Structure formats: C-alpha cells, structure tokens
Chain A
C-alpha cells in the first residue's frame, strides 16, 4: 500500500499542470444510483459501470464499509461526497475517465508554497486563508523495530487548525482493563498527558506526522507513529511489561512530580514494591510508604504512621473510599490490606485536595484492583507465616468482573509447636478478606462495590481472648454526563471494634469492648471546563456512632459490674469546590475551599464544667441531657486548600501550598503507637476539634528524561487543640474522658529530600528528612500543665530519618534489593529517681518526653528470582528470599523499669533482634 501511495503522489506532481486544466473542464453529467446495504467495493463497481470512469483504489480501504444511498440526477461529485462521508477516503479526479481514491491524503492540485523551500518574498497576508499545507512524511525505513503507523481523520481542504485533539482509551492488551496514570508523551518531548482512571486521555497534536509514546511502570512502552489529519480517536492496547516488573519505582507518571501542583503527594503502585525485602514473607505497601520522606513509624511492630510531625490519629486511610481504622494485623507487623488485591496507594502529606478532609496530617487513598473482565486470573503466595490468594473472575465478559482476595495466617500452628512453655497455650491468628465487583454498564456508567473484613484474634493465656476487627463496604457509581462533566456517587460504611473476653476460674469473667461505626455519603463532581479550568466540587455527609466502651460480666457467675458508657452520635459533613487553574503554561494554581460542619447529637449527656477551673470530677457543675437527634454541640469552619506550581524549566518546578484542616475525631491513646485497645472519641461539648495549618514549599527536578527525580520540600505546621493526656490519666473505660485529656498547641517543621532513579539496572530511592514536632500544654492549673507549660517534644519527634531502597538487576530474572532505615530514637518519659513518701517508695518521672530511646537502624536484603518469561507459560512464578534486619541490630521497641533487689533496673524489649530470613513463593496465573 505504501508503495502505491508513493507512486500516486509522484504521478500527481509530475502531471500537475494537466490536473488543473482537467479540473476546470469537469463536465456536469448527472447520474442516478441506488445502494441498499452494498459493500463499498460493489459501489465503485457500479459507479464505474454507470459513469465509465475508472476508479483507482486499494481494495483494503473499502473492505468494511457498507453503503445505503439513493441518488437521482446528482453530480458524481455529490454522490462521491455522500458515499465517502464518514470514511477516511478522499478522491481526486485525475482525468475525465480516472478518479484516484486515496486514504487520508488529499491529493493536491497545486504545489504548496513551501514545497521548494520557503520563499520569504512571496509570503503575503493572503496566506491566512492559504490552502492547508499538504502533509508529507517520510516513509519509515524497513527495520525490525516496527512502529505501527496510524492515520487519524481525513484531510480536509478547509481545515485551518494547526493542532488537533486526539482522544482515546488505553487498555491492557490481555485484560482489557483501562490503564490509568499512563504517561503519554509527544515527539520525545516532555509535553504530554496522562490517562485518567478510565484510561482515557486527550492530547493536542500538531498536524502531520507525530510520534506518541505511551509509557508506564509495568507496561511495555509503545511508540505509535501517528499521522494526523483532523480530530480523532486513538485507542491503544498495551502489553504488560515483564521487564518493568523488576523495577522498584514509586511514581507512575513521569514528570508528574514536577507538573502537578500538590506538594507531598506520592503514589505507590503495589506491583512495583514486590522486590523490596519482606518481613515474614509479606509484601507491605504501607511499610514502603514509611521509606518516603515525611512518613515514619514508631518502630517495628508499631502500627500507625506519623506524617510530618502529626500524631497517628491524623491520617485518613481509605480503602476504596471507605475509612479503615486499624490497617494492621498483629500489632502492626503486617498490614491489613491485601497486597495482591491492591492496585495503588495515593498518599498526600503536603497539599491535600479539597475533596478529602477530617484528618490533619495526611490521606492514604488505597485503591483495589479492578478485576480482569476478559479471563480468569489469579495470584498466590506462600510464605512462612501467611498465605495469600487473589482471584479475578470475569462475570460478564468485557463488562464486569469480581475480585476476591483472602489471606490468613497459620501462626497458631507455629506457636503451638514452640518449645517455650509460656507461648504454647497462646493463640494468635488473623485473616482478611476482600471482594470487589466492577461493572462497566456502558461507556458512561461504571459501578464498583467493595466489601472488606479483617480480624485479629489472640490469646496469651487459655482464659482470655482478645480480638479486633475492621469491616467496610463501599459502593461507587461513576457517571459521565458528557466529556466535561463526571459525577461519582459513593456510599461507604466502616466499622472498627475490639473486644476482650476473659474467662478465668474466678467470678470476675468479663467482656470488654469498644466499637465505632460510620456511614458516609459522597457526591463528587468533576467539571472539565476548559484547558485552563478544571473544577472539582462535591458534598458529603458522614454519620458516626460509637460505643466508647463497655464492660459486662461474661456469664452468670461473674460478679463484674457492668459499665456502659453512653453511645455517642455525630454528623460530619462538608462541601467543597476546587479549581485547577492553569494561569499559563508555567503557572498552575489549584485552589480549593472546603466548609466542614460537625454536630454531636443526642441522645446523650453533656457534662458542664465550671469555667476558669480545671476539668475534673469536682468542677463538674451540671449534666445536660439531649434528646434523640437534638444537636448538643456544633463546630464548623472553612478550610482553604491552596497549591501552586511554577515551572522554572520544563523539568524543574517550584511549588508552594497552604492547607487548613479540621479534625473532629480523636484517638485516645497515650502510647506512641496505635494499640488495639485505643478508642476513638468524637468531639463534643468538652473536646474541641483539632485544627491544623500547613505551609509548604518544594522544588522538584527531573533529569535525563525522568530517569532521575529529585525533590526538596520544606514545611511548617501549626495546630490547635491537639489532644493529649494529663499526667496519671487512665483512658480505658473512662466515663469522663474530658477530665483526663488536655488540648494544646502543636508545632512542627521539617525539610525533606528525595532522590530517585526510576530506570536502569540500578534503581530505587533515598530519602532524608529532618523534622521536629512539638506540643504545648499550658494552663494556669498545675494538673492541666505539662512540662511547665512550655513546648515539648512530642513522642514521635524524630529529627533524622533516612531511608534507602535500592534494587539491582543482574539479568531479567535475577535481582537483589536492599532497604536501609535510620531514625533518631523516639522521645520517652523515664523515671529519673526514687523517693520515700508516706512510708512507701515511689519513682518520679522526668519531664514528659525528656529522653530518647536509642536510634533505630535496620538493613534488609532481598534476592528475587523471576520464573522464566515464556509467553505461553500458564503461570508466572516468582521467588523472594529476604533477610529482615540483616545486621541483627537490637532496636529497642520500648524501655521499661523493673524492681530487682530493691534496685529499679531499666530493661528494653526488642521485637526482632536477629536477622529473620524468609522465603516466599509467588504465583501469578
């Protein structure tokens, strides 16, 4: 075909003069034809007979189209116009008896002014209405690297545009699933776009020949040679890249880090984390998050994150839009989110988009995979402590699929086989299960539903069972009104509860517990107004119901007195509007406003305390009862979310953001880490919502076609009403928790550096954070004052935090990886002396958080072996051998004191004191 075209063009140019005349001498003969569902080729056969004109064309062009057309006494020109409408075929009347059909190309009857080089002197003002320059392109040389050429649109003589809009959907060749966050770059430049959640993209492309590169992590990148004649559609299907599986890369979008307005935003694609060394054979995407700047944990076995100097309750962790309260198993050793069913985690630590709210420090937005709608597939892993399986089951081909995942531990068996007597009767088990159904109803409607349940059970002695569980559901309907307006309606329900059952020999058997339940309704709208403005707006409402604590006798013999703290209910709602405003190519502003409103409502009792007095039992002046549904206390406020980006160079940007956030729910825990018996408290008359402000600024630079990424960010945060506790407070089953809590001023600041190499045999990242975090609890009353009312270090203030995650690929099948973490030890309050008082001996403590436990460091090593990459293999296998804590560093988890021979001796407990080797077998089919 190519050859044919070339020849045609040559002929045309050689006979140019004649052509002009030929056209002028067109006769005006009229024809009548009738085509009823006739193949195109047949149409031209008929036309040849009727008109006596010979048509030159390639049969292939005419294959698909069928024609329904009736004409009586029409000019040939008109008939051809009609027949060829909606095709990419142009025609050219070469002579009275010959018509040449061409695909895409128009055949010109005069040479363009630029054909022999631009003649400056002949350029006139008329060139504004000049004929469109014909499009010439070099025929690609034959090579092994075949680049598919795609023609889009039909050349049109009246077309005056220089640029055309190409849009389309990119899908996975195998699964037909849309590929999101795919980078689309044009002509090897860094301009381009990315696909949205539905794999959809739009790109402005200059007329003529272009090379469009589609690339993403885990996807074999593809280059398409695209010859553009007009606006059009280009749907692409790409293959999963085996090669890329070895890479440890965090960001999916090249240059996204530079181009988006938000600071402190990262996405982790689970598939990319698989080479990072494992602990007890579990891939853990949230653990990977802690190697990024600004995110830290209290140590191993510690659940929860501290983000930019914020406490562990300030992170909004969402799984498919529903809040997950305790995303960990086994005190934080394992994450509760199944890595096999997780697509990615989007983390916001700096600028938080206006659609999120309710937590001060960060958002972890975890998205589950969409099931493959084409064919049955799955993944399984067998590790030393847990096993994991995930299946993707097509339900309606190409429309809907079901993802199910389950994970369970067999640690019970391990515990029972231990020699250690004290652990033999112990039990510790956990499991989690997830199911997600995704249904593409049509082009404009998508429905997704997720259900998730996780449970931990353990018992140390035969008479006690401790358990906690998370449960959530969400339904998400996305509706596209048109190309510009998209709505997403979500209903989500989450529940977290813990429970302790004690069934001993005596009469004090009890059942103790806590639960929180929330239901949220969200409507999020997107309005893609123009290139310059993209609006996001929405409304949401969330209903909370908590049972702050109960203690019941477990059986009839038990004489435990029931304690039942009154249920609490509240409403949290918000509206938001944000505009992603592209002021210029360089300057982007993302401004959002969110108004949040909180109401605690009855039926409940609110305790009133004397003013100008510390809150305690004796200053309680009154108790007010509120009826069902009656608002007892409301709070509300405007939250500003502002992020700006200025491109200093194409690959260098400066960003600044300001954030204001309210948090209406507080975790009650005076441990540094999340402990399973922590409870959540809703704001009320006596406990005010937390308010946070964050100012951040960052410099982002990419080098060498995004192979290297660098970022340097700084932030300063202030907060009000940060919840802390009086000296000596005891929180569990406390019925007047406000008498134990204090609310004070928080302050934190830090500098974060990240350097990342995305491609190559050696890849990975290093990050370093210097940060400080302080709290001030001041009052005129001694019992409400901590450390004399001065700012003091929070118990998660860790100035230095360094992480390195490196991966080196020997061959496509073998790679090693290493992971190194260093953190300043966290502040603790130690006893500093003893004294005799009232005939007994007491210890007294330092100021709050005056000391630090020793610095934490750890090196993990991993060795990965991929199964061979034969395409036709039924299943891909993957071995991971890793050593956790390869240096055998004895990192103290906690330090405590015991009395021994009258001396108070400090002891430290550590979790993993020796290197822990693990081998895991993964299977993907």
Chain B
C-alpha cells in the first residue's frame, strides 16, 4: 500500500510539470568513491566450520564487486579464547576449527586487512534459544491475486526471550526437462568447409536435475508487540503457482535466527533501502551504522553487523501433485521448441555447427531426412531443442543432494 502512495506522489511530481522531464544527472562534484569494507559475519550455536564473508563495496556505475583477500580474521570470546579464520578464497574466511557459539558468552570480531587497517566489532552474544515448531506448505492466494504456495512457519518460545527473528531459507527443487536428450549430446566431427556432426552418450547430460537457491531477501519478524513470543503462520516464502520450481518436487530448509535488538533494527532499516521504490519514498536515507568500526579512522564507513545467533532449522518436502492434484504443471523455465538446423545452407554456413559451438541447443533425436515427417523446408540430421530443454545441467546440477528424499 505504501508503494502505491509513493507511486502516486512520484508520478504526481512528474505530472505537475506538464512538461517536466527526467534526464541523466551529471554530478558537478562527483562523489569520490571510497571503497568500504563489507563484513557479513554471523556465527551460530551450531558446531561447525563458521564462515565470514569479507568484501568491498563498489562504485555505482560498475557491476564489478571485489572481495577482500589476505585479511587476518579472529573471533575472541570473553574468556580470551580465540578462533582464527583463514582465507579460503572468494572473500570467504572459514574458522580453522569447527566451533559453536555458547550461550551467555560474548564474542568480538577483529579483522586486520592486508593494507594494515584493523577493525573491531562490539561484543555480541546469543540472546535466546531459537526453536522452530513446524513449517508447512499451504496452497493459497496472495492478496487475492496470485495463487501459489505459502511456506508458513510456527514457532514458540515459552521463555518469551526470543522476540526478534531473522529467517533464511535454502530451497531445492527437482527439474525434469520437457524434452529429454536421453543422455546424448551432439558434437562437431568436422568444421566447415566439410561440415559433419554426430551424437554420443555423455555423463554430463541429464534430464533430471536438482537446483538449490538461497534466500536473498531480508525476512524478519518480531513478536515484541504480542502477548507471547509466538510466531504463528509467518510467511517465510511465497511461490507463485506459475513458478517452474514447483513443477515436480520441492524442498525448503528454513533457518530461524534469534537476533539482538540492534541487529534486528539494522536489518530492518537495510531492508527499507533495498527496494528501488524506497529511493523516492518518504524513507529517510543516510549511512547506516553497524557495530564494526575502524580502529584507525573513526569516520571510515564500515558496512555490516557482527552477530552471534542461536539457530534452528526445519526442512519440508512436497510434490506439485500434493497441492495441485491433477492440475497442469507450470511452464518450463524456457520455451522449448524443436528445430532441425541444416548442416550447411546456401550462404555457405553451418547453422547446426554454429549452434552446437555456441552451446545454444541440446540434442533431441536423429531426424529422418528422407521422410521429413515434420515437413521442414530446410532441415538437418538431428532434431534439436534450445539449450536447457533436453539437458538441465545447462543451468542446474544432476547431483542428487544428500538430504534429498523422494
């Protein structure tokens, strides 16, 4: 609803002009870009190799992100025990040993980057035990508009000490291509000017795959205004019924973190900046201070919030049939048609070789050129289909995840 108002206002501002205009803005004093350190640090009460991600911010007009290499990272608890982290590449720093954050103990993160700057967080500790009661998948309408599946979560903390929750999920879904390559792939035997292609069995090719995606949104809820610390039917995820990920079998792992008040409000504010509308809205923008500071330069902008959370997780499986029995499954992720690119054309090119080399098509079957059952004007030796339509490893993985249950 707020969004609608913002739109009104914004369009309104354009309109009032009758001839108002929008055009690229040229900075007179273009902000000098200062790269800021971005720290994603959340350690939990799960005994495991803990991971911290350290990257750098990047300018507005580029899409290149960079990670921080060679930093020295440590977490120290209030008893003086230190956990060292090592750079495992791509900005990831893993603890050298598995450990779990303990209740009633505070931890401090310290980082020294390769250029010698050091950063330290405020001490953080676990606030309360997290406990998911259940997650359920329900077929429902969202805002009476789109039908789909809600993943609802229920949790209850009888001690009334959780109150601030952050959710992450990891969803895994089975993919079955609409046209199977049956394990075959087409390959180029001889290039132009004597074009020749053939097909063969391949271990790489599969018509069944499993994709796993992580949540990208900040999903939070608070029970502070309720009489008890009960999260009831909280929608962690909504999947439109048209979404192909629902087509066969779907699984979601939901993690519930208990946050501190400060971390909760940090993420909440961050979330208000995330949608593009908020740039025009009544949301007050400005730099958001986290709990990590430079030890050398008080004014240096450091992004991120070091959290120590308790976590609980629950997994759920369901099939499309369970919720939409007898109904047509969603459209596949891409339009799948059948083509038969010729081996050579009048222009002296080989469309089929070009397409194979561009990884743009998957093998479907051999085409009987004599009978030409599909009545093509021009055709080649094989029937092909756009990449991904026969072989889902083009965008997914054929490896069955360990946790997968059929």
Residues in A lying within 8 Å of B, measured CB to CB: 301, 330-331, 333, 411, 414-415, 418, 422-423, 426, 428, 458, 460-461, 464, 466, 500, 502, 506-508, 510, 512, 551, 559-560, 616-619, 669-671, 675, 677, 725-732, 782-783, 785-788, 829-840, 842-848, 850-852, 854, 890, 892-899, 902-914, 916
Given A460-B8, A845-B286, A896-B279 in contact, is the A904-B13 Cβ separation under 8 Å?
A: no
Asked if A906 and B265 make an inter-chain contact with CB atoms under 8 angstroms apart, the answer reads: no
Given A835-B36, A844-B288 in contact, is the A551-B279 Cβ separation under 8 Å?
A: no
Q: Which 7 A-B pairs have the closest CB atoms?
A: A728-B269, A908-B25, A833-B57, A727-B286, A835-B57, A906-B25, A840-B216
B287 close to A (CB within 8 Å): yes
Q: How far is the CA of A837 from the CA of B166 in the complex (A)?
A: 14
Q: How far is the CA of A488 from the CA of B283 in the complex (A)?
A: 45
Asked if B28 and A836 make an inter-chain contact with CB atoms under 8 angstroms apart, the answer reads: no
B371 close to A (CB within 8 Å): no
Asked if A301 and B25 make an inter-chain contact with CB atoms under 8 angstroms apart, the answer reads: no
**Chain B neighbourhood of A619, CB < 8 A:** 261
* Interface of chain B residues 209 through 225 with chain A (CB within 8 A): 214-218, 222, 224-225
Question: Closest Cβ of chain B: how far from A800's Cβ, in Å?
Answer: 15
6 CB < 8 A contacts A-B: A330-B16, A464-B8, A728-B283, A729-B284, A893-B20, A905-B24
Question: Closest Cβ of chain A: how far from B272's Cβ, in Å?
Answer: 5
Given A728-B272, A905-B24 in contact, is the A333-B1 Cβ separation under 8 Å?
A: no
Asked if A842 and B225 make an inter-chain contact with CB atoms under 8 angstroms apart, the answer reads: no
Given A833-B33, A833-B60, A837-B40 in contact, is the A726-B261 Cβ separation under 8 Å?
A: no
Asked if A848 and B65 make an inter-chain contact with CB atoms under 8 angstroms apart, the answer reads: no
Q: How far is the CA of A727 from the CA of B270 in the complex (A)?
A: 9
Given A510-B1, A830-B31 in contact, is the A301-B19 Cβ separation under 8 Å?
A: no
Given A426-B15, A510-B1, A835-B38 in contact, is the A909-B284 Cβ separation under 8 Å?
A: no
Given A848-B286, A903-B61, 5 additional A-B pairs, CB 8 A = A506-B145, A507-B144, A787-B286, A833-B36, A833-B60
Partner of B63, one of A831, A840, A894, A902: A902
Asked if B25 and A835 make an inter-chain contact with CB atoms under 8 angstroms apart, the answer reads: no
Asked if A670 and B61 make an inter-chain contact with CB atoms under 8 angstroms apart, the answer reads: no
Asked if A896 and B63 make an inter-chain contact with CB atoms under 8 angstroms apart, the answer reads: no
Asked if A466 and B12 make an inter-chain contact with CB atoms under 8 angstroms apart, the answer reads: yes
Chain A residue with Cβ nearest B35: A833
Asked if B8 and A500 make an inter-chain contact with CB atoms under 8 angstroms apart, the answer reads: yes
Partner of A617, one of B13, B15, B24, B222: B222
Asked if A907 and B24 make an inter-chain contact with CB atoms under 8 angstroms apart, the answer reads: yes
Q: How far is the CA of A906 from the CA of B60 in the complex (A)?
A: 9
B78 close to A (CB within 8 Å): no
Given A730-B2, A836-B65 in contact, is the A854-B28 Cβ separation under 8 Å?
A: yes
Q: How far is the CA of A487 from the CA of B389 in the complex (A)?
A: 90
Q: How far is the CA of A393 from the CA of B156 in the complex (A)?
A: 74
**Chain A neighbourhood of B58, CB < 8 A:** 833-835
**Chain A neighbourhood of B17, CB < 8 A:** 301, 910-912
**Chain B neighbourhood of A894, CB < 8 A:** 13
B55 close to A (CB within 8 Å): yes
**Chain B neighbourhood of A411, CB < 8 A:** 18
Asked if B265 and A914 make an inter-chain contact with CB atoms under 8 angstroms apart, the answer reads: no
Q: How far is the CA of A662 from the CA of B287 in the complex (A)?
A: 31
Given A510-B1, A846-B287 in contact, is the A903-B65 Cβ separation under 8 Å?
A: no
Asked if B218 and A838 make an inter-chain contact with CB atoms under 8 angstroms apart, the answer reads: yes
Chain B residue with Cβ nearest A725: B284
Q: How far is the CA of A725 from the CA of B355 in the complex (A)?
A: 57
Q: How far is the CA of A461 from the CA of B14 in the complex (A)?
A: 13
Given A426-B15, A833-B60, A834-B60 in contact, is the A895-B65 Cβ separation under 8 Å?
A: no
Among A428, A844, A902, A905, the most chain B Cβ lie within 10 Å of the Cβ of A844
**Chain A neighbourhood of B21, CB < 8 A:** 890, 909-910, 913
Asked if B1 and A895 make an inter-chain contact with CB atoms under 8 angstroms apart, the answer reads: no
Given A616-B265, A911-B16 in contact, is the A847-B60 Cβ separation under 8 Å?
A: no
Partner of B38, one of A422, A731, A732, A837: A837
Asked if A836 and B283 make an inter-chain contact with CB atoms under 8 angstroms apart, the answer reads: no
B79 close to A (CB within 8 Å): no
**Chain A neighbourhood of B57, CB < 8 A:** 833-835, 844
Q: What's the dominant secondary structure at chain A's contact region?
A: mixed
Q: How far is the CA of A835 from the CA of B62 in the complex (A)?
A: 11
B268 close to A (CB within 8 Å): yes
Chain B residue with Cβ nearest A418: B18
**Chain A neighbourhood of B225, CB < 8 A:** 617
**Chain B neighbourhood of A843, CB < 8 A:** 60, 273
**Chain B neighbourhood of A854, CB < 8 A:** 28
B359 close to A (CB within 8 Å): no
Partner of A730, one of B62, B164, B272: B272
**Chain A neighbourhood of B89, CB < 8 A:** none
Q: How far is the CA of A723 from the CA of B261 in the complex (A)?
A: 24
Asked if A331 and B16 make an inter-chain contact with CB atoms under 8 angstroms apart, the answer reads: yes
Asked if B13 and A331 make an inter-chain contact with CB atoms under 8 angstroms apart, the answer reads: yes
Question: Closest Cβ of chain A: how far from B18's Cβ, in Å?
Answer: 7
Given A460-B8, A835-B65 in contact, is the A908-B23 Cβ separation under 8 Å?
A: yes
B5 close to A (CB within 8 Å): yes
**Chain A neighbourhood of B340, CB < 8 A:** none
B375 close to A (CB within 8 Å): no
Asked if A890 and B276 make an inter-chain contact with CB atoms under 8 angstroms apart, the answer reads: no
Partner of A616, one of B1, B145, B261: B261
Question: Closest Cβ of chain A: how far from B255's Cβ, in Å?
Answer: 12
Q: How far is the CA of A836 from the CA of B286 in the complex (A)?
A: 18
B143 close to A (CB within 8 Å): yes
Chain B residue with Cβ nearest A785: B289
Partner of B31, one of A333, A846, A896: A846
Question: Closest Cβ of chain A: how far from B236's Cβ, in Å?
Answer: 15
Partner of B13, one of A669, A848, A909, A916: A909
Asked if B143 and A839 make an inter-chain contact with CB atoms under 8 angstroms apart, the answer reads: no
Asked if B144 and A506 make an inter-chain contact with CB atoms under 8 angstroms apart, the answer reads: yes
Interface string of B27-46 (1 = CB under 8 A from A): 11101011110101000000
Question: Closest Cβ of chain B: how far from A672's Cβ, in Å?
Answer: 12
Given A836-B38, A843-B273 in contact, is the A906-B24 Cβ separation under 8 Å?
A: yes
Asked if B63 and A331 make an inter-chain contact with CB atoms under 8 angstroms apart, the answer reads: no
**Chain B neighbourhood of A911, CB < 8 A:** 16-17, 20
Question: Closest Cβ of chain B: how far from A914's Cβ, in Å?
Answer: 7
B304 close to A (CB within 8 Å): yes
Partner of B8, one of A418, A466, A671: A466
**Chain B neighbourhood of A788, CB < 8 A:** 298-299
**Chain B neighbourhood of A848, CB < 8 A:** 286-287
Partner of A847, one of B1, B27, B35, B287: B287
**Chain A neighbourhood of B284, CB < 8 A:** 670, 725-729
**Chain A neighbourhood of B282, CB < 8 A:** 669-671, 675, 677, 730-732
B395 close to A (CB within 8 Å): no
Chain A residue with Cβ nearest B163: A618
Q: How far is the CA of A414 from the CA of B16 in the complex (A)?
A: 12
Partner of A464, one of B4, B56, B168: B4
Asked if B15 and A460 make an inter-chain contact with CB atoms under 8 angstroms apart, the answer reads: yes
Chain A residue with Cβ nearest B28: A854
Question: Closest Cβ of chain B: how far from A420's Cβ, in Å?
Answer: 9
Asked if B9 and A675 make an inter-chain contact with CB atoms under 8 angstroms apart, the answer reads: yes
Question: Closest Cβ of chain B: how far from A497's Cβ, in Å?
Answer: 16
Question: Closest Cβ of chain A: how far from B144's Cβ, in Å?
Answer: 5
B230 close to A (CB within 8 Å): no
Interface string of B258-302 (1 = CB under 8 A from A): 000110010011101110100111111111111100000011010
**Chain A neighbourhood of B195, CB < 8 A:** none
Q: How far is the CA of A671 from the CA of B17 in the complex (A)?
A: 19
Question: Closest Cβ of chain B: how far from A879's Cβ, in Å?
Answer: 23
**Chain A neighbourhood of B265, CB < 8 A:** 616, 783
Question: Closest Cβ of chain A: how far from B297's Cβ, in Å?
Answer: 11
Question: Closest Cβ of chain B: how far from A426's Cβ, in Å?
Answer: 6
Asked if B25 and A892 make an inter-chain contact with CB atoms under 8 angstroms apart, the answer reads: yes
Asked if A507 and B36 make an inter-chain contact with CB atoms under 8 angstroms apart, the answer reads: no
**Chain A neighbourhood of B27, CB < 8 A:** 906
B98 close to A (CB within 8 Å): no
